[in-house]
Chains A and B, each alone.
Chain A
Amino acid sequence: MMRRYGLAVLSGGLFGAGLRISGMTDTIKVQNWLDVFGTWDPTLAFVLGGAILPMAVAWRVAARLERSYLGLALPAAPSRDLDRNLIAGSILFGMGWALAGLCPGPALASISFGGIGGLVFLLAMLGGMVAAPALRVRLDGAAPAARPRSKMDIRALTPTYAVSPQIELSDLPAIKAAGFTTVIDNRPDGEIPAHLHTPHMKAAAEALGLTFVANPVIGGALTMENVRLQSKVMADATGPVFAYCASGNRCSVVWALMNAGHRSTDDLIRTPAKYGYNLEPLRGQIEAFAAESGAGID
């Protein structure tokens, strides 16, 4: 999709031109903005104000969109974690910004006319960026960041299949760490907050090396196709499978139906009941499935 790259050049170019025109590539103007007790220059406040105005409108427009105008996924809702990395990083960045008067955008925008000093700054900055991940891990280890409140609860129906209420993006590392290789989303996007829609979950899961499959089950209107797809994903999985929906109930129903005939109906009802899922009303349906299929997948 060439338009995507053309628009990235346009956006970068407009950003660079704005930095040059606003005076933000002049390190003295930036240092004077920070020098509240000395030669204070308020220009940067106008730059920031001018930049926030169109962006505030853009966020409102984006909130009404499912996907970007090019059909790409929009950013997830922002985290509210005020962790140590954010605070320590911002302090270090503020100090470096004041020392030389350059932040990353202007450092790049001025590289063609910033001389050898500008080049050295950029190389040092890139060096710092290479070193940062190692430092970040150390800070995380010192103080595990508070996770956003999540409803996740790993409820194993079998050693290879667990169900859970709705998960958050931040739950995926724990799912990976628990040994699961595949995540199934049994909830239609229409009933989930936008930041947890399939594209976001899929991207985050795949970034961790997890397989992610959306198999939306409409409450009370489960289809044969749902059962078939869940079975296929189970068969293809290289390790334990983790399925979630609103409560874990639909994941349990699909599991009971795909195992009908393979396990006793009593067992298929009793196992989810341990976690409070009542499949008793489906007894007839499970038995009908058992008579039809004969063999299922555990």
Chain B
Amino acid sequence: MLDWVWGFVGGLMIGGAAAVYLLFNGRIMGASGIIGELVDRTGWGNWAERLAFLAGLIGVPYLLSLLIGGETHLTSNWLVIVLAGLLVGIGTRLANGCTSGHGVCGISRLSLRGIVATLIYLLAGGLTIALLRQVIGVI
């Protein structure tokens, strides 16, 4: 099947997951917030719910990978991996959201912060890729 069809189907599942988390657990499904507030201790009040979410988030793709495999094609450049991880960690916590919190949950709610954050990280990402691939010729 075409990539975009899989993309759309996967997207519906992501949105469905966010809908369950909102309508039942009463919470916004933001990956960076769920784990970030465990790491900085601000979310210890409901740690069990966060760990349960993370168990599903890590466990189900593991089971799927046994059936259909999985390959991330991540760069093998350690410097790039560490730098990217740090930037994603710091950036999502400063902005209080990532692709799921600001992107999926924010835009669908027409939240000004969600829409602005998404436009900015898409623009920053696009410029970074253009610079690295087209101008400098790395990655």
Q: Which residues of A contact B (CB under 8 A)?
A: 3-29, 31, 34-38, 41-44, 46-59, 61-62, 65, 67-70, 72-75, 78-82, 85-105, 107-115, 117-118, 120-133, 135-136, 139
27 contacts between A and B (CB under 8 A): A6-B52, A9-B53, A10-B17, A12-B17, A12-B58, A19-B10, A21-B9, A47-B10, A51-B108, A52-B104, A52-B107, A53-B11, A54-B16, A58-B18, A59-B109, A68-B25, A69-B23, A74-B26, A86-B94, A89-B90, A99-B80, A105-B99, A121-B81, A127-B89, A128-B91, A132-B90, A139-B94
Structural contact, A26 and B72, CB atoms closer than 8 A: yes
B136 within 8 A of A: no
Interface string of B69-88 (1 = CB under 8 A from A): 11111111010111111111
Given A95-B87, A101-B75, A130-B39, 12 additional A-B pairs, CB 8 A: A8-B49, A36-B130, A42-B4, A53-B12, A62-B22, A90-B116, A90-B118, A101-B74, A103-B31, A104-B99, A120-B85, A132-B40
User: Which residues does chain A contribute within 8 Å of B7, judged by CB atoms?
Assistant: 22-23, 43-44, 46-47, 50
With both chains docked as a complex, state the minimum distance between the C-beta of A143 and any C-beta of chain B, in angstroms.
13
- Given the interface contacts A20-B64, A103-B31, A112-B62, does A47 sit within 8 Å of B90 by beta carbon? no
Interface residues on B, range: 35 or more
Closest residue of B by beta carbon distance from A52: B108
A-B contact count (CB 8 A): 485
A98 and B10 in contact (CB under 8 A), knowing A15-B57, A133-B93? no
